[in-house]
């Protein structure tokens, strides 16, 4: 290995859905992006020692622990990825920053605004790289959408519609899981943050909003009889961005037929953009500047011309997938560590998302418009 490249010991807290995704990403990111920092899967932590051992073996970590504190304090662990439940994010992040270790934390940043505020404070006090795992905004397509807007290609934005819709609880007979309890595990707490982050990234800060949040199926069958669902199944909001643009959003885990309905339509004074994560390798662009008879939405297939695509494949239209988003995230985290400069979205951005979520709950309660800044 040449001098420019050096190993870095990575510790991942959690080995479930996202813990695995980050482990896989850390295994391949160096080869994909030829990063200077070359991750070594040093240690994995989980809720129990037994499960952590299983993760070590399955994902190829050097060591494991049932106590995340062991991981965070281990000297060979130089960077931390938090992929455990939202309730645990704050304590882990605070401990890591205190020890001078950079942190990438899964979304939502904290389980609520208070946690997120504390995490931002800890991050800022430490001066260390920090990042939140909003992976969907990192597809080549959505990065390109950001760029198109930033470059003024579609003019001034007049309208934004976003949705994050899935259907894993659409069938009323679907068995209850832990996702049926706890505000931060409901649709607003768990799914909405992705699309709210997209809205903020693409259009800018949200000034005010009016929201409606509800539980469609108040009980679900469980192993031992009916279970009460105490969090929300679907929600929507109307909003006003600082820029003056109007926004509309929808979030759901009961949107029958939708699997990964992370989708947005953006209209501007010179063009428009449409995107749906269910076809993540295409972005649709409409340009007023085209000859009138030839105007239409262009289905642009992502390729080497688009952000972060070329490292995966030289051929356009060959496509990236879910796992590749996490690899891009890992690359950005490594670059942030290498350069000492956080890369968007930072903890600050994660907090901004939590604030919009909190404002939505406040609005739903009050049945009124609410200023996000007031929350």
Ligand X SMILES: NC(=O)C1=CN([C@@H]2O[C@H](COP(=O)(O)OP(=O)(O)OC[C@H]3O[C@@H](n4cnc5c(N)ncnc54)[C@H](O)[C@@H]3O)[C@@H](O)[C@H]2O)C=CC1
Cα dist from 270 to 155, 185, 196, whole Å? 5, 39, 24
CB of 199 to ligand X, least distance (A): 16
CB of 208 to ligand X, least distance (A): 27
**157 vs 201 by CB, closer to ligand X:** 201
CB of 299 to its own copies, least distance (A): 5
**276 vs 284 by CB, closer to ligand X:** 276
**192 vs 202 by CB, closer to ligand X:** 192
- Quote the tokens at residue 137: 């905004």
- Residues of the shown chain interacting with ligand X in the complex, contacts defined by CB under 6 A: 13-19, 45-47, 51, 68, 83-86, 88, 106-107, 133, 135, 190
Residue 174: which of ligand X, its own copies, none does it interact with, CB under 5 to 8 A by kind? Answer: none
Which region, left, alpha or beta, applies to residue 257 given φ > 0 means left and ψ of -120 to 50 means alpha? Answer: left
- Quote the tokens at residue 374: 């007031």
End-to-end CA distance of the chain: 51
Residue 45: which of ligand X, its own copies, none does it interact with, CB under 5 to 8 A by kind? Answer: ligand X
Residue 60: which of ligand X, its own copies, none does it interact with, CB under 5 to 8 A by kind? Answer: its own copies
Residue 299: which of ligand X, its own copies, none does it interact with, CB under 5 to 8 A by kind? Answer: its own copies
Residue 86: which of ligand X, its own copies, none does it interact with, CB under 5 to 8 A by kind? Answer: ligand X
CB of 29 to ligand X, least distance (A): 16
d(CA 267, CA 275) in angstroms, rounded, equals: 12
Cα dist from 79 to 11, 69, 128, 271, 333, whole Å? 6, 13, 11, 42, 9
CB 273 within 8 A of CB 154: yes
**51 vs 116 by CB, closer to ligand X:** 51
d(CA 341, CA 91) in angstroms, rounded, equals: 23
């Amino acid at each position: 290995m040449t001098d420019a490249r050096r190993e870095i010991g990575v510790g991942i807290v959690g080995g479930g859905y996202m813990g695995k995704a980050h482990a896989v990403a850390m295994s391949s990111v160096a080869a994909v992006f030829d990063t200077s920092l070359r991750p070594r899967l040093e240690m994995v932590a989980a809720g129990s020692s037994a499960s952590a051992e299983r993760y070590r073996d399955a994902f190829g970590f050097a060591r494991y622990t049932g106590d995340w504190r062991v991981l965070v304090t281990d000297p060979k662990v130089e960077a931390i990825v938090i992929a455990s439940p939202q309730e645990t994010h704050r304590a882990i992040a605070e401990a890591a920053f205190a020890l001078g270790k950079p942190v990438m934390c899964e979304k939502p940043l904290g389980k609520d605004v208070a946690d997120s505020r504390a995490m931002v404070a800890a991050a800022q006090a430490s001066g260390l790289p920090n990042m939140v795992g909003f992976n969907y905004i990192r597809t080549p397509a959505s990065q390109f959408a950001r760029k198109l807007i930033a470059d003024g290609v579609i003019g001034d934005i007049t309208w934004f519609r976003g949705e994050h819709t899935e259907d894993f609880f659409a069938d009323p007979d679907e068995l209850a899981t832990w996702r049926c309890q706890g505000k931060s595990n409901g649709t607003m707490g768990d799914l909405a943050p992705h699309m709210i982050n997209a809205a903020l990234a693409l259009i800018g800060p949200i000034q005010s909003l009016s929201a409606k949040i509800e539980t469609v199926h108040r009980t679900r069958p469980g192993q031992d009889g009916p279970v009460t669902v105490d969090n929300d199944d679907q929600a929507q909001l109307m909003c006003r961005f600082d820029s003056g643009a109007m926004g509309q959003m929808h979030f759901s885990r009961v949107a029958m037929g939708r699997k990964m309905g992370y989708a947005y339509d953006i209209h501007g004074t010179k063009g428009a953009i449409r995107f749906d994560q269910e076809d993540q390798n295409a972005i649709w662009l409409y340009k007023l500047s085209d000859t009138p008879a030839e105007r239409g939405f262009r289905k642009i297939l992502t390729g080497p011309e688009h952000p972060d695509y070329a490292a995966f494949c030289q051929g356009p239209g060959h496509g990236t997938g879910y796992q590749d988003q996490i690899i891009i995230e890992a690359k950005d985290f490594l670059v942030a560590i290498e350069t000492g400069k956080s890369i968007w979205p930072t903890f600050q951005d994660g907090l901004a998302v939590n604030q919009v979520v909190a404002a939505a709950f406040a609005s739903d309660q009050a049945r009124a418009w609410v200023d996000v800044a007031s929350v």
